[in-house]
Structure formats: C-alpha cells, structure tokens
Amino acid sequence: MRNTLIAWWFMLGLVIFASCVPQKKLTLLQENLEVKNQGEADKLLKTFDLNKPVYTLKPGDVLSLKVQTTTPTEYNFLNTPAVVSGSDDPVLSGYTIDTDGFILVPVVGKIQLVGLAMPEARAKVTDALKPFLADPTVNLRLLTFRYTIIGEVGAQGQFTTYQDNINVIEAIASAGGFSDYANRGKIRLVRYEDGQAKLYNFSLLNDNTLAMKNFYLQPDDMIVVDPLPAKFFRENVLGTFSLGFGILASIVLLVTRIQ
C-alpha cells in the first residue's frame, strides 16, 4: 500500500512539474535577459507577397455615405443623414444595395454599384454627385462586413469591421485573442459562397499562412478555433486522477489509523 501511495505522489508531482512554465518565458521586455538565440528586432527574417482578395459589392450590402463639398450647407441634400429614432445602429441609416444592384440616393436617384470594388464604387458615386454638388469628396464604407468566431478565444461572438478587409489574426485579436488551450495549428474557416458552405483548414504556426488568400476574411465568414488535447487531459483525466488520488490517500490514512 505504501509503495502504491508513493507511486501516486510521484505521478502527481510529475504532472504538476510538466505543467509549469518558467516566469522568464512569460514576462515581456525584461531588463537583464539571459536567453540564447534571442530575436534581433531590426533583422528582416522573411518577406511575403500578400494575396489580398478584392471584395466586390453584392445585393444586400449596406453602405455608409458621407460627402464633403463646397456647396453651401442649406443646398447640400446629403448634409444631414437619416436617423432612425431610438437607434444608434449605423446600418439602419445606411444605403442598401437592392436586388438589382442599385442604391437610391436623394435627388440623384439610382446608382448601380453591384460588382464594384470599394474604390470603384467611391469613384462612381463621386461622378454621380458632381452635377448636384460642388467638388464632392465621398467617404463610402461597407457597414455589413460581419464575421463570427467561436471556440478557444477570449470572447466568442459575431463582430463587425468597417475596414475593406481584415485578416484572421486581426479577427481573432478582436475576439480577445487565443485562450490558453487554443490549437493554433488547426484553425477552421467556414465560408458561404454560391449557396454552399465551404470549409478550409490552416495553421497559424506556419508563417507561410500570411501569403494565403484565405488569410483574409470575407463577409459572413466563421472562424472555429479548436482546443488542444491538453484541455481534455486537464479537465477530465487530471481531475479524475486527482479525485482517485484523494480517495486512495484517505483510505491509506484510515487504514493506518486503524492499525
């Protein structure tokens, strides 16, 4: 019985030791760091050609339209955007691309934007406003670039960005970053295209991921971050082990006291 108890103690100590991480591996910007093979901040390691996809506008997209012009305020029909009472959601006061690919702008009328990239859409809206406003400068933003992140991150949920594009690392950072048990080597991306759900796998442990097309998100993408096997081990195996050890130790203590 005593040998069994010693073995249990040994195994428990081994598990605890294996799970420990030295403080120097966690503390940032240390003053007197004595670690071999330190990174050199000014040394270029590698260069990647980014493969940024160009998003083209689709029916159902909602745009924010703000215009600066030298036209007097009282004649600027776009000076005061429509506001929905009791709501701060910018989507509700934006311009929606209809099923035929047009937005409807007061006074100007319909402007076809479907299939255009954001810079092309800005240029087309600017040209459409020139007969009505003097020297218009158009700020056009996509309001419906939403993505979802679930799994081993700080805060799961649906997020909105007003950028024309966002990459996977930026998206995960907006969700609070990785949890302690996030499997950074297995990130799944679900993309909805042409009535299909397409599934992609990639690793953020591989720096070549930076050059992949799917490193950049599309609207309505979903990112799934799987857990490491260590999470199952800690939450199930280690818990069962600790419970069993506690029961065994209690039995040994009880038998010892009886003897």
Residue 14 lies in a domain: no
Claim to verify: residue 98 and residue 164 sit in the same structural domain? no
Domain assignment present for residue 233? The answer is: no
Cα 167–Cα 168–Cα 173 angle in degrees, nearest 5: 100
CATH code of the domain containing 162: 3.10.560.10
Q: Is the pLDDT of residue 19 over 60?
A: no
Domain CATH for 121: 3.30.1950.10
First-last CA distance in the chain = 13
pLDDT tens track for 69-109: 888 877 777 775 554 444 566 677 789 999 999 999 999 99
Q: What is the pLDDT of residue 42?
A: 82
Contacts of 136 (CB under 8 A, 6+ apart): 67, 68, 69, 126, 129, 130
Based on the domain organization, do 191 and 219 belong to the same domain? yes
Q: Is there a single domain that holds both residue 135 and residue 150? A: no
Number of domains in the chain: 2
Looking at 142, 166, 184, the residue that finishes a domain is 142
pTM for the structure as a whole: 0.70
85, part of any domain? yes
Q: Which of 109, 142, 175 is the last residue of a domain?
A: 142
Q: What is the average pLDDT across 240-250?
A: 61
Q: Is residue 116 located within the same domain as residue 152?
A: no
In a domain, 237, yes or no: no
Range of the domain at 218: 145-227
Q: Looking at the structure, tell me whether residues 98 and 124 fall in a common domain.
A: yes
Q: What angle do CA 15, 17, 18 make, to 5 degrees?
A: 65
Write out pLDDT tens, residues 190-236.
999 888 999 999 899 888 888 998 999 999 999 999 988 865 556 55
Do 81 and 95 form a contact (C-beta atoms < 8 A)? Answer: no
